[in-house]
């Protein structure tokens, strides 16, 4: 899971790309990169948070009014500086690319690119493979001279990508002398939204991003979503060309609404905040039906992604909502830390119980999801250490039983607590007095209840094992899991 942005503007874009990275920092803390161009490419990238990578000196080098940016949270490839996006190649034109998602046929594509097309791969990143595949499709003996001809070339190239590249991918790309190129996989698994603003000269500036969280701050008006299977091209003079090249079922990732996206985002024309409120409502009704005699004194969210769901959950139960766990905001999101030891170490640094809210009370913990179970178990232990009389656990997401191969860091089934335990066993493992998971139908209803979203069925492979791109079998699972374990171990 990563954060990407592409901007076409009438003025230099580096500062706005930096602001975009800051607004998308929750989507990736491992690394950050920006690339712009005027008559040549300008890039700056590094390991760590955006504020650690960029400074006044290197930002001044990022000249140009067209650019892309990327926050990295690795699900494929290693953890070195060489893996940091955007990637770029000098042939043809000069092309840079940033990508959010995961290619499930990476190995086949890498072999084709290196053996057949004689291109050199410097990393194990599937984004670099996608860049070279795209670049090779744009290579022609008769380069197009005008924007319409180039858009025709783009349509042919991206159509081939849609037919041969499997998995999930939302892409922003720069092409020297041509402009900004944006496309999204045919099922729209990973998010990509768009916005516009007047430039004061009768034209418009354009932005494309994983979320629209930065639009208001930068003066952009949201203009909905990049459609699944859609290609958008903004040339150097601001002319926009777009075409939906392939139409399949629309299957955006449901975990974006559960956990990843910021609550103020609107993805696929659905409010993340409202969907989380509805998750809490639906789960509260289920709790009352299953546990009519277990009414907590307070509802405490596991901060901060669960706050919204916990608020509506408490309201539906008619009990007090309390921020009984203080979150140290200077600790990163434990779910996206690279390694179990780092995650376990960080929990007690990250969360501190408020004793006056907990002692001698029946406490309901509301969490957005339980992936590995480490954080959940530590939270329960903290509450009992601080005198909770009983501890209940409600989960806005159904049990996560299968690994995700479309861009979320759930690399092996062995790491998923619900992939190896029943709900009763999880209740015992967490040492809680009662537990309730959201039902899949109730989660889907919460996300799709309102909005002109045109979602057919959300991708829920991590919940139901249905890989919507029809690209996963047991052999592929073993291949990708082995690859990711090797990535983590530096092999």
Distance CA 40, CA 462 (A): 42
Taking a C-beta distance cutoff of 8 angstroms, is the pair 476, 469 a contact? Answer: no
Copy the structure tokens of residue 331: 């600790």
Distance CA 27, CA 209 (A): 12
Taking a C-beta distance cutoff of 8 angstroms, is the pair 366, 394 a contact? Answer: yes
Distance CA 240, CA 247 (A): 21
Q: How many CB atoms lie within 10 A of CB 221?
A: 13
For every one of its 491 residues, what pLDDT tens digit does the chain have, with 9 covering 90 and above?
799 999 999 999 999 999 999 999 999 999 999 999 998 999 999 999 999 999 999 999 999 999 999 998 766 555 567 789 999 999 999 999 999 999 999 999 999 999 887 788 888 899 999 999 999 999 998 889 899 999 999 999 999 999 999 999 999 999 999 999 999 999 999 999 999 999 988 999 999 999 999 999 999 999 999 999 999 999 999 999 999 999 999 999 999 999 999 999 999 999 999 999 999 999 999 999 999 999 999 999 998 899 999 999 999 999 999 999 988 777 655 555 555 555 555 676 788 899 999 999 999 999 999 999 988 999 999 999 999 999 999 999 999 999 999 988 776 888 899 999 999 999 999 999 999 999 999 999 999 998 888 999 999 999 999 999 999 988 888 888 887 777 666 65
Which is nearest to 373 in space by CA: 284, 477, 302, 277? 302
* DSSP codes of every residue in 343-358: HHHHHHHHEEE-HHHH
Copy the structure tokens of residue 51: 């504020």
Distance CA 187, CA 207 (A): 21
Query: What is the SS3 assignment for 243?
Result: strand
- Domain 266-455: state its class: alpha beta
Q: What is the DSSP letter of 86?
A: P
Report the b/e string of 382-416 with b at 16+ CB within 10 A. Answer: bbbebebebbbbbbbbbbbbbbbbbbbbbbeeebb
Q: For the packed helices 126-138 and 147-164, what is the interaxial angle rounded to 10 degrees?
A: 130
Given its phi and psi angles, is residue 466 left (phi above 0), alpha (psi -120 to 50 degrees) or beta? beta
Instruction: Decide which of 1.10.579.10, 3.40.1590.10, 3.40.50.300, 3.60.20.10 is the CATH code for 3-251.
Output: 3.60.20.10
Look at the chain and count its residues. Answer: 491
146 Cβ contact partners less than 8 Å away, ≥ 6 residues apart:
none
Q: What is the DSSP letter of 228?
A: T
Distance CA 463, CA 399 (A): 6
Taking a C-beta distance cutoff of 8 angstroms, is the pair 138, 95 a contact? Answer: yes
Copy the structure tokens of residue 246: 């392939």
Which is nearest to 3 in space by CA: 208, 197, 303? 208
pLDDT of residue 119: 82
Catalytic residue among 2, 253, 404, 462: 2
Give the number of C-alpha atoms closer than 13 A to the C-alpha of residue 489, restricted to the C-beta side. 8
pLDDT of residue 337: 54
Distance CA 371, CA 366 (A): 14
Cα–Cα distances in angstroms (integers) from residue 453 to residues 2, 335, 449, 463, in the given order = 23, 28, 10, 22
Q: Which residues pair with 197 in a beta bridge?
A: 205
Which is nearest to 309 in space by CA: 318, 319, 299, 294? 299
Domain(s) labelled CATH 3.40.50.2020 in the chain stretch across 266-455
Taking a C-beta distance cutoff of 8 angstroms, is the pair 335, 409 a contact? Answer: yes
Copy the structure tokens of residue 330: 């200077």
Domain(s) labelled CATH 3.60.20.10 in the chain stretch across 3-251
Has 155 been annotated as catalytic?
Answer: no
CA dihedral 93, 94, 98, 99 (to 10 degrees): 50
Distance CA 97, CA 68 (A): 8
pLDDT of residue 349: 72
């Amino acid at each position: 899971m990563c954060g990407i942005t592409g901007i076409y503007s009438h003025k230099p874009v580096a500062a706005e790309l930096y602001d975009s990275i800051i607004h998308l920092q929750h989507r990736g803390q491992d690394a950050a990169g920006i690339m712009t161009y005027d008559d040549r490419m300008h890039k700056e990238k590094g390991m760590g948070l955006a504020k650690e990578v960029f400074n006044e000196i290197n930002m001044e080098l990022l000249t140009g009014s067209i650019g892309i940016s990327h926050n990295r949270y690795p699900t494929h490839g290693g953890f070195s500086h060489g893996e940091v996006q955007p990637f770029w190649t000098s042939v043809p034109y000069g092309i840079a690319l940033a990508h959010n998602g995961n290619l499930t046929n990476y190995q086949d594509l890498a072999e084709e690119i290196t053996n057949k097309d004689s291109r050199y791969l410097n990393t194990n990143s599937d984004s670099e493979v996608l860049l070279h595949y795209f670049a090779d499709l744009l290579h022609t003996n008769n380069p197009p001279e005008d924007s319409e001809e180039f858009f025709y070339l783009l349509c042919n190239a991206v159509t081939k990508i849609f037919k041969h590249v499997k998995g999930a991918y939302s892409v922003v790309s720069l092409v020297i002398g041509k402009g900004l190129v944006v496309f999204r996989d045919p099922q729209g698994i990973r998010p990509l939204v768009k916005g516009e603003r007047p430039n004061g000269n009768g034209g418009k500036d354009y932005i494309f991003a994983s979320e629209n969280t930065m639009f208001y701050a930068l003066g952009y008006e949201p203009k909905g979503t990049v459609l699944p299977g859609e290609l958008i091209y903004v040339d150097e003079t601001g002319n926009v060309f777009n075409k939906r090249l392939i139409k399949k079922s629309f299957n955006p990732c449901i975990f974006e609404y559960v956990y990843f996206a910021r609550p103020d985002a609107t993805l696929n024309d659905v409010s993340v905040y409202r969907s989380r409120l509805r998750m809490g409502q639906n789960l509260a009704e289920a709790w009352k039906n299953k546990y009519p005699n277990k009414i907590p004194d307070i509802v405490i969210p596991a901060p901060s992604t669960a706050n919204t769901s916990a608020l509506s959950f408490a309201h539906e139960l008619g009990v007090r909502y309390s921020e009984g766990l203080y979150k140290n905001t200077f600790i990163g999101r434990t779910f996206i830390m690279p390694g179990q030891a780092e995650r376990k170490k960080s929990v007690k640094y990250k969360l501190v119980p408020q004793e006056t809210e907990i002692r001698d009370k029946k406490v309901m913990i509301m969490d957005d999801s339980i992936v590995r179970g480490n954080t959940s178990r530590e939270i329960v232990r903290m509450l009992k250490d601080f005198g909770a009389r009983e501890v209940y656990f409600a989960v806005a997401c159904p049990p996560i039983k299968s690994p995700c191969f479309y861009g979320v860091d759930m690399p092996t089934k062995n790491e998923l607590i619900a992939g190896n335990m029943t709900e009763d066993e999880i209740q015992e493992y967490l040492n809680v007095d009662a537990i309730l998971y959201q039902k899949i139908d109730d989660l889907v209803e919460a996300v799709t209840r309102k909005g002109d979203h045109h979602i057919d069925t959300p991708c829920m492979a991590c919940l139901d094992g249905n890989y919507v791109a029809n690209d996963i079998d047991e052999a592929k699972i073993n291949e990708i899991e082995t690859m990711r374990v090797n990535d983590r171990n530096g092999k």
